[in-house]
Structure 1
Amino acid sequence: MTVNKWTAAQVARKVIENKELFILDVRNKNDFDDWKIEGHQFEYLNIPYFELLDGVEEILPKLPTDKEVLVVCAKEGSSVMVAEMLSDAGLDAAYLEGGMKSWSMYLEPIKVADLADGGELYQFVRLGKGCLSYMVISENEAAIIDAVRFTDVFINFAKEKGVEIKHVFDTHLHADHISGGRHIAAETGATYYLPPKDAGEVVYEYTALTDGLTVQIGSAKIEVNALYSPGHTIGSTSFVIDNKFLLTGDILFIDSIGRPDLAGLADDWVGDLRETLYTRYRKLAEDLIVLPAHFMIIDELNEDGTVAKPLGDLLKENHGLNIEDEQEFRSTVTDNLPPQPNAHVQIRQVNMGKITPNNDEQTEMEIGPNRCAVR
């Protein structure tokens, strides 16, 4: 039988369309347990590659014969060999092109909504890393919020839409992934905005993203109006778009809340986090649709693949928004932190402009799951 090659885009469609998929992951158990391709209806078997060097006969009874088996490894090589062995044994087998490396990098643009006067709002879903970026389009202009480092994806998408990128925003100085914001701005001539309280150590020029700033995008508005929202970082800032959507950065997620410790200041920032979640956000309209900068688990995806939910629903359902006792909240936030993101100190330095790793080094820095939330 022929061994098929799957792209990350094809796997992404299986996730978004809620389709079945059987994955044989041949990475080490620790790597698999830490981070894998997640799908609503995915089945998994994890057998390290080194256990299959003498053949695949022993695992054949554990594999389906009525559906294709997708073999996944770190960078592709091992999965090709295993898929070929499975094919020789009579199974329908495929491998993931580029392995988990390609899965970590893939972005799926999904339309969230139409905006006023013909505008559009898109969410770029990075399924392998849990990152969410946004593009607001109105008339012939576009703004980008929380872009990841794959600048060509955003620039080419804007070209396809026939719009000019005029503004690029980061809601905060990111620590779990490398931002593409200032690089997109440099390439397109757009204005790059960053909260000044997060920019004390940056070595490049930026425009201050300040409380009360309103930026016009065509006929739509991105409003940063009384939405300074510290807690994940001291400069974290939220956005209201078209009076319908609340972009919360890494402060509020669908199923959790942001962690305050990635600059080593959890005890200092936990009070800011509570103030944002329990005071600032509660003054906003509950019918605003929350659009975060990350998701943690596959269950946070809607049927169309977007990650979005009304603020009113989160005020009722999100555990992090329903801890009345302040001391209990402080304890929950500081005592239930997952491991910090891989290379988060170096990633912050990249996003400050202090170091400039090459592409392979950046890929290695970002490998692994999203860890921006309190568990």
Structure 2
Amino acid sequence: MKVMTSKELGSRIVKQKKTLILDVRNTDEFDDWKIEGGIVEVINEPYFNLLDGVDPVAQKLTKDQEIIVVCAKGGSSEMVAELLEEAGFTNVYNLEGGMRAWSEHLEPVKIADLKEGGSLYQFVRLGKGCLSYFVESNGEAAIVDTARMTDVYEKFAKEQGVKIKHLIDTHLHADHISGGRNLAERVGGTYHLPPKDADEVMFKYAPLEEGNDIIVGNSAVKVQPVYSPGHTVGSTSFIIDDTYLLTGDILFVKSIGRPDLAGKAEDWVGDLRNTLYKRYKELSDDLIVLPAHYSFAEELGEGGRVSARLGDLYERNAGLQVDDENEFRKMVTENLPPQPNAYQEIRETNMGKINPETDIQKEMETGPNRCAVEG
């Protein structure tokens, strides 16, 4: 039986290779969170339906078809893959580590070469829809919204021949554990956080405030903070190279950020509207929006990148089309998906109040991101 890694699967998806997934988790788990993107077909057949043989799924498959079998952690899928091989299926793979491993994979995608030298990369966390950013210039790098799996960024920096100097969070995250502070300690870099999100943090940080630009590579690349509250009270966006607008969890390609993950929806909805309908409106329509998340597989563009022109979003993003303030308030306080898994514990981890073991952190992050109004 063959094994496929999350890295190999991620590469297939961003390259738009036709992929068939047989997901053998329970239907409720599958319905909540599945592998998506690219040219992916997914069949769900719970493992317990296949204990007496693969007949329930065999008629949906062909014997020489490439099949990638997936479960939560890789054990049940391995057994199903073996049953398929015994039934004569010749091209079966088991996804190593299952959905837990898939949740942790980061796929680096180059966004652009920058005007004065250097490059901007988007790290796509395909299993959770999280996006982080790596800016490098003249031997230095900054990372925005670092994921928990910091070794990926360290390896990438080494390959690029750059030193990581700045670790930046656009806000205090509630859907995933930030790796920014830990990576800053590992590499001797500076960890930046909006002070209005840092009232309860238990560690030192550099205040992230509008007017205090962060310079990467001497003076080559300017990371310009733009205070943009609404998802949190401290949410801060960035303009990079006068071209790219990193919007954090305020604005996505097909949706907008939710204001309720700290229990402050009614308090923050006004801030959210002001940011989206006034503050961003003052910016150039030609800025390229690079969000911290995506919610839908169709948001993955060429090479797996997630981006859109700001002016285009004002024409087609439904969250930016609500002229009536009361209707907007209703939309962002009532039309919400379930809150992320263990979001309160994740917030406390990101504050430094608790420090769970690695396995518990992985479990806390299991499942899709739910930072958008319409998930």
TM norm structure 1: 0.98
* 1:221 corresponding residue in structure 2: 222
* 1:367 corresponding residue in structure 2: 366
Residues 37, 300 of structure 2: 8 Å contact kept: no
Tell which deviates more after alignment, 340-349 or 49-58: 49-58
- Which AA in structure 2 matches 1:74? A
In 1, the alpha carbon distance for the partners of 2:257 and 2:154 equals: 29
* 1:48 corresponding residue in structure 2: 46
* 2:305 corresponding residue in structure 1: 306
Within 5 Å, give how 1:183-202 maps onto structure 2: 183-202=182-201
Residues 176, 342 of structure 1: 8 Å contact kept: yes
Residues 6, 105 of structure 2: 8 Å contact kept: yes
The percentage of aligned residue pairs carrying the same residue is 60
In 1, the alpha carbon distance for the partners of 2:61 and 2:363 equals: 31
**SS of residue paired to 1:118:** coil
Shift, 1:40, TM fit: 3.1
In 2, the alpha carbon distance for the partners of 1:49 and 1:150 equals: 30
Contiguous gaps of at least 5 residues in structure 2: none
Instruction: Give a deviation string over 1:132-161, Cα, whole Å, max 9, x none.
Output: 000110111101100011111111111111
- Which AA in structure 2 matches 1:324? D
Shift, 1:53, TM fit: 1.1
* 1:251 corresponding residue in structure 2: 250
Aligned residues: 371
**SS of residue paired to 1:116:** coil
* 1:10 corresponding residue in structure 2: 8
**SS of residue paired to 2:281:** helix
In 2, the alpha carbon distance for the partners of 1:21 and 1:39 equals: 10
Residues 36, 297 of structure 2: 8 Å contact kept: yes
* 1:292 corresponding residue in structure 2: 291
In 1, the alpha carbon distance for the partners of 2:62 and 2:292 equals: 37
* 1:316 corresponding residue in structure 2: 315
Within 5 Å, give how 1:234-245 maps onto structure 2: 234-245=233-244
**SS of residue paired to 1:285:** coil
**SS of residue paired to 2:42:** strand
Shift, 1:57, TM fit: 2.5
**SS of residue paired to 1:109:** strand
Instruction: Give a deviation string over 1:175-210, Cα, whole Å, max 9, x none.
Output: 000000011111111111100000000000001001
Tell which deviates more after alignment, 315-324 or 34-43: 34-43
* 2:68 corresponding residue in structure 1: 70
* 2:148 corresponding residue in structure 1: 149
Residues 233, 269 of structure 1: 8 Å contact kept: yes
Tell which deviates more after alignment, 86-95 or 198-207: 86-95
Contiguous gaps of at least 5 residues in structure 1: none
* 1:344 corresponding residue in structure 2: 343
In 1, the alpha carbon distance for the partners of 2:42 and 2:115 equals: 44
- Which AA in structure 2 matches 1:55? G
**SS of residue paired to 2:290:** strand
Matched, 1:111 2:110: yes
**SS of residue paired to 1:75:** coil
In 2, the alpha carbon distance for the partners of 1:291 and 1:50 equals: 42
Instruction: Give a deviation string over 1:292-313, Cα, whole Å, max 9, x none.
Output: 0000011001112100111011
Residues 14, 39 of structure 1: 8 Å contact kept: no
Tell which deviates more after alignment, 274-283 or 67-76: 67-76
Tell which deviates more after alignment, 227-236 or 149-158: 149-158
Residues 176, 370 of structure 1: 8 Å contact kept: yes
In 1, the alpha carbon distance for the partners of 2:37 and 2:301 equals: 12
In 1, the alpha carbon distance for the partners of 2:300 and 2:223 equals: 24
TM norm structure 2: 0.98
Residues 131, 293 of structure 2: 8 Å contact kept: yes
In 1, the alpha carbon distance for the partners of 2:348 and 2:321 equals: 34
* 1:125 corresponding residue in structure 2: 124
Cα RMSD for the two superposed structures: 0.9
Shift, 1:22, TM fit: 1.3
